[in-house]
Amino acid sequence: MCFFMHTYTDYGCGKRRSTGRHRVACNKMNCRLSYSHRTDVHDCERECEGPTREDQHLVMEHLNDLCDACRNAGRLEHPQRTNGIDPNINYGHLVTPAQLAAAQANGVNGTH
């Protein structure tokens, strides 16, 4: 079933900025969120499904740079280190092939 992916960028100062909310489409006709959802007359409540998984959260980029607010204020650290980071959300992190190779060279298994 379809779900939503929220994407973020982390900055060196500690700021996490949302970069968007994206629909991950399943393209199933019986999914209420799908672009392929049935358009004919049908009993949607009985025949179709809604989202079956929670929204997912993924940090797409880790930048060493400061966010604009910190750079403009001459700060090296964001005033609230948790700014933009919700402790109740399990954030995933995108790992580039270079990061994975470096981790594996240091004996870290990158498959977990």
Query: What is the tens place of the pLDDT at every residue in 43-91?
Result: 988 998 887 788 999 999 988 888 888 889 888 877 765 656 777 777 8
Q: Considering just the CA atoms, what is the radius of gyration of the chain in Å? A: 19
Answer whether 0.85 is exceeded by the pTM. no
| Pairing mode of beta strands 16-24, 91-93 | unpaired
| Mean pLDDT rounded to a whole number for the chain | 83
SS3 (DSSP) at 2: coil
**Coil/strand/helix, residue 45:** helix
pLDDT (0 to 100) of residue 82: 60
Quote the pLDDT of residue 112: 45
pLDDT of residue 81: 57
Looking at residue 32, its pLDDT comes to: 86
Mean pLDDT of 3-25: 90
Residue 10 has pLDDT above 60, yes or no: yes
Q: Token pair of 28, please?
A: 């199933």
Q: Are 44 and 95 in contact (CB under 8 A)?
A: no
The count of C-alpha atoms lying within 13 angstroms of the C-alpha of 69, restricted to the half-sphere facing its C-beta, is 11
Q: What is the pLDDT of residue 7?
A: 94
Please tell me the predicted confidence (pLDDT) of residue 101: 77
